[in-house]
Copies of this chain bind each other. A is one copy, B any other.
Amino acid sequence: MHIASLLARAARLHPTNAAIAGGGRDQSYAAFQARASRLAAHLCSRGLVPGERVSVLSWNVPEFLECYFAGAAAGLVVNPLNVRLSALEQVEVVRDCGARHLVAQASFAPLVAEILALGAPLEGVTWIGGAPAVSVPSTEYERALAEAPAAFPPCEPAGDAPAHLYYTSGTTGRAKGVILTHRNVVTHALGAIAELGLSERDTWAHVAPLFHLADAWATFAITWAGGRHVWLERFEARAALDLLERERVTITNLIPTMLNLMVADETAAGRDWSALRALLSGGAPIAPEVVRRIVATFRCEYVQTYGMTETSPYLTLSLLKEHLKQLPEAEQLRYRAKTGRPFATVELCVVGDDGREVAPDERTVGEIRVRGETVTPGYWKRPEETAAAFEDGWLKTGDLAVVDREGYVTIVDRKKDMIITGGEKVYSTEVEHALYAHPAVLEAAVFGTPDPVWGEQVEAAVVLRAGAAASAEELVEHCRAHLAHYKAPRAIRFLAELPRTGSGKIAKHGLRRKPSTPPAPGFC
């Protein structure tokens, strides 16, 4: 099966089901399929041939979902651009993947003009929601659909044909395009349906960016299941809460920052959450106490997730095994807050420096390695980086973790973020957990900085809660009370917010470079 066949199935089996709802854009699966098919025909009419890349630059709108399926039906490789990147970074991506065509929201016209001026190889644009003039031929989206032939015989790409090209945030060096094949995407979707029990009863909220896999995977799984897609163009906590309540959303995945802001909203707990059955989040460690607060607020199941673009994305979910559901609530929360146990389609092991699996003692640290049909075949035109990413067929994730007796892993650090101070290993997550336990701390990131005596020293960046106060000395003391002294930060910077990658992960490389700034007014 290939990606376009999932929408085709939904349109045949559930033609009248609401595919896309809300925002005055209610659309059945029959209509969804018809529009995606016309968009595919339009893209082909621009001279694009199977195997070519098409870039998409958009916040969350229903047209984005159509692009994913239309690209597949046209046999194209869809390259979603991270809207937060600069024009120069966008050009680097577009040039690397060689896209000749772009589908973009009209509101990005200035950015697109800049990209073109910088020499991106684009030869045409299809504009969503407008028709701004630009230096290459362009068409307005709805007009493009109207003018495209209704009947379009979809391509039938092989399972191992590239379907998507996501460029990683590029925390190190040049951005790399992660290839996901049709089989990668389809297998992940089926795995997610099996793991999460997705069905046509489900409504998924596209709140996290659709240009990132944290949300994009649901495009395929929810469509396959015949469920309902609702969306929020750009995140804002109150609007997200409104959407989830109004549209009776049953399940979604939120980036931790989003979830934090939503839980902190005073209206959150008092709403009608009777439809909501599960909230997923991940990409950052979470404390059991925070999980308790989420569950208390939304009165639904919480699932910690861990994944990578390279793995379509899920690698683990903190779903509870049956016998763990018999544990006292506090123990259950402890498991729900772990990184999780392997996703259905993933083989996962944690390998120590000696190349052998670590003991499941929740103490011995190793690197997570994975394989399976949801793992990328590699990076776009980067045979060396691809070869370096794998060992004996296993993808080296670069994430360090411990494993417990139940097979749940807990990430302790990115391999490259691990700190060695005076010969001792310090895993930043452990120190961050200690900081999070302080009532004044909203967010914390721990990282190493060069030190002439110790090799590296432990440093922290902290965002304080609104109205709360704490001095650097107080936080260091707090850490020393909870941790071995060498693990406590030697320096603490107070920031108004933490720098993040396009996908919402904390960008520690940015912190290492960033000079300390005084806390914003009102923070302390």
Given contacts A190-B191, A191-B190, A373-B159, whether A1 and B197 have CB atoms under 8 Å apart is: no
A6-14, A85-93, A327-335, A412-420 - interface stretch: A6-14
- In the bound complex, what is the Cα–Cα distance between A220 and B344 (angstroms)? 13
Bound-state Cα–Cα, A344 to B342, Å: 23
Closest B residue by C-beta to A371: B1
A14 to B200, CA, bound (A): 30
Residues of B within 8 A of A200 (CB): 321-322
Contacts of A8 in B (CB 8 A): 347
For the complex, is A193 an interface residue (Cβ under 8 Å from B)?
yes
Q: Pick the contact of A190 from B12, B224, B344, B407 — CB < 8 Å?
A: B344
Question: How many Å from the CB of A350 to the closest CB on chain B?
Answer: 12
The reply to whether the CB of A194 lies closer than 8 angstroms to some CB of chain B is: yes
- Kindly identify which residue among B190, B197, B341, B347 contacts A345, using a CB–CB cutoff of 8 Å: B190
CB closest residue in chain B, given A159: B373
Q: Is A201 an interface residue (CB 8 A)?
A: yes
Q: Can you name the residue of chain B whose Cβ is closest to the Cβ of A403?
A: B12
Question: Which residue of B has the minimal Cβ distance to A373?
Answer: B1
- Taking the closest CB of chain B, its distance from the CB of A388, in whole angstroms, is 21
**Residues on B with beta carbons closer than 8 Å to the beta carbon of A50:** none
A192 to B321, CA, bound (A): 20
Question: A359-388 CB contact bits vs B (8 Å, 1 = yes)?
Answer: 000000000000011000000000000000
Which residue of chain B lies nearest to A322 when distances are taken between CB atoms in the complex? B200
Number of interface residues of A (CB under 8 A): 31
Is A138 close to B, CB under 8 A? Answer: no
- Tell me the smallest distance from the CB of A258 to a CB of chain B, in Å: 28
CB of A501 within 8 A of chain B? no
Question: Does A107 reach chain B (CB closer than 8 Å)?
Answer: no
The answer for the CA separation of A1 and B184 in the assembled complex, in Å, is 12
Contacts of A321 in B (CB 8 A): 13-14, 200, 226
Is residue A397 within 8 Å, beta carbon to beta carbon, of the partner chain? no
A139 near B: Cβ within 8 Å? no
The reply on A449 being an interface residue by CB < 8 A is no
Interface hub of A14, A201, A226, A372 (most chain B Cβ within 10 A): A14
A322: shortest Cβ distance to chain B, in Å?
A: 5
List chain B residues, Cβ under 8 A from A257: none
**Chain A 337-362 interface 0/1 with B at a Cβ cutoff of 8 Å (1 = within):** 00001101101000000000000000
A322 B1 Cβ-Cβ under 8 A:
no
Quick check: is A5 within 8 A (CB to CB) of the other chain? yes
* Chain B residue at minimum C-beta to C-beta distance from A197: B197
- A 388-428 binary contact with B (CB < 8 Å = 1; else 0): 00000100000000000001000000000000000000000
Q: Are B1 and A407 in contact (CB under 8 A)?
A: no
Task: Indicate if the CB atoms of B373 and A5 lie closer than 8 Å.
Answer: no
Q: How far is the CA of A125 from the CA of B346 in the complex (A)?
A: 36
Q: What residue in chain B is nearest A393 (Cβ atoms)? A: B156
In the bound complex, residues from chain B placing their C-beta under 8 Å from that of A345 are 1, 190
**Docked pose: A200 CA to B407 CA in angstroms:** 15
- Chain A positions 1 through 28: 1 when the CB is less than 8 Å from some CB of chain B, otherwise 0: 1000100110011100000000000000
Cα of A193 to Cα of B190 in the assembled complex, Å: 9
Given A159-B373, A224-B344, verify A201-B322 contact (CB < 8 Å): yes
User: In the docked arrangement, what's the CA distance between A321 and B14, Å?
Assistant: 8
CB <8 Å contact, B197 and A13: no
- The docked-state distance in angstroms from the alpha carbon of A376 to that of B14 is 27
Q: Is the CB of B322 within 8 A of A12?
A: no
A5 / chain B contacts, CB cutoff of 8 Å: 347
Give chain A interface residues in 46-97, CB to chain B under 8 Å: none
Which residues of chain A in 152-207 are interfacial with respect to chain B, using CB atoms and an 8 Å cutoff? Answer: 156, 159, 187, 190-191, 193-194, 197, 199-201
Closest 9 CB pairs of A and B: A194-B194, A193-B194, A13-B407, A200-B322, A190-B190, A1-B372, A12-B407, A190-B194, A5-B347
Chain A interface residues toward B at CB < 8 A: 1, 5, 8-9, 12-14, 156, 159, 187, 190-191, 193-194, 197, 199-201, 224, 226, 321-322, 341-342, 344-345, 347, 372-373, 393, 407
Known: A9-B347, A159-B373, A226-B321. 10 other contacts (CB 8 A): A1-B345, A1-B372, A5-B347, A8-B347, A13-B342, A156-B393, A187-B187, A190-B191, A190-B344, A200-B321
20 contacts between A and B (CB under 8 A): A1-B345, A1-B372, A8-B347, A9-B342, A9-B347, A12-B407, A13-B341, A13-B342, A13-B407, A187-B187, A190-B190, A190-B191, A190-B344, A190-B345, A193-B194, A194-B194, A199-B322, A200-B321, A201-B322, A226-B321
